[in-house]
Amino acid sequence: MSPAPGSHGISRPNPTQVGTIVWLGSEVMFFAGLFAVFFTLRANSPQLWAEQSSKLDITYAAINTTILVLSSVTAQMGVRAAERLQGRRTGGLFNLAKWGTVEWFFLSFAMGATFVVGQIYEYGNLVTEHIGFQSDSFGSVFYFATGFHGLHVTGGLIAFLLVIGRIFAVKRFTHKEAVSAIAISYYWHFVDVVWIALFFAVYVLPLLS
């Protein structure tokens, strides 16, 4: 039966967005477990944690964190372009007001890639400070937590490229492409929030102790 004149059909949740949210829920549980392990080991070895944490470069980590957080801002700008069904820029390259989802997502990709490279560089410096994955409990949980997060960032970078490629492949940017862009933004914001929590726990909290 068709809806009566003037009435509105029932709006069903989008499967892509719902699936993304449900999957992120499971990821929250996983990272919650990581944080539980981190704080348990820290409580059991406070002297080791204080000694090894002092070798971390919080200024460098703060700069890298800022880059990742700003990438969430640019990703959200890409979402706004997607919501108005603007896949690509309609003006000059330096006219940000005319940018579409592609341009904003490319910028987010570049900033996310910079974060990953920066994290790898930090790992190299920490190895020279004798903080390795098997050196002690601090090193093990540090590399596991930050490394697993880094894999999530890398997954997000791949997702950005897939969405960008899809936009280039279609002749017309539609609601379907917009939904994909929005779903990726959910994931990217989640990755950023997790890193902010990690940054506070790993780099900031030792300074407050």
- Tell me, what DSSP letter sits at residue 172? S
| pLDDT score at 13 | 57
Contacts of 168 (CB under 8 A, 6+ apart): 102
| Tokens 């959200």 -> residue | 76
Distance of CA 188 to the CA centre of its chain: 4
CATH code: domain 15-208 is 1.20.120.80
Q: Among the listed ranges 5-9, 58-62, 75-79, 194-198, which one has the minimum average pLDDT value?
A: 5-9
Nearest residue to 149 (alpha-carbon basis) of 195, 115, 113:
195
pLDDT at 3 over 50: no
Phi/psi of residue 7, nearest 5 degrees: -90, 165
Taking the C-alpha atoms of residue 6 and residue 206, their distance in angstroms, rounded to an integer, is 61
Contacts of 17 (CB under 8 A, 6+ apart): 179, 182, 183, 186
Q: Tell me: the pLDDT tens digits for 148-198?
A: 999 999 999 999 999 999 999 998 999 999 999 999 999 999 999 999 999
What is the percentage of the chain residues whose pLDDT exceeds 90?
77
Q: Tell me: the pLDDT tens digits for 101-136?
A: 999 999 999 999 999 999 999 999 999 988 999 889
Distance of CA 31 to the CA centre of its chain: 13
Taking the C-alpha atoms of residue 35 and residue 89, their distance in angstroms, rounded to an integer, is 41
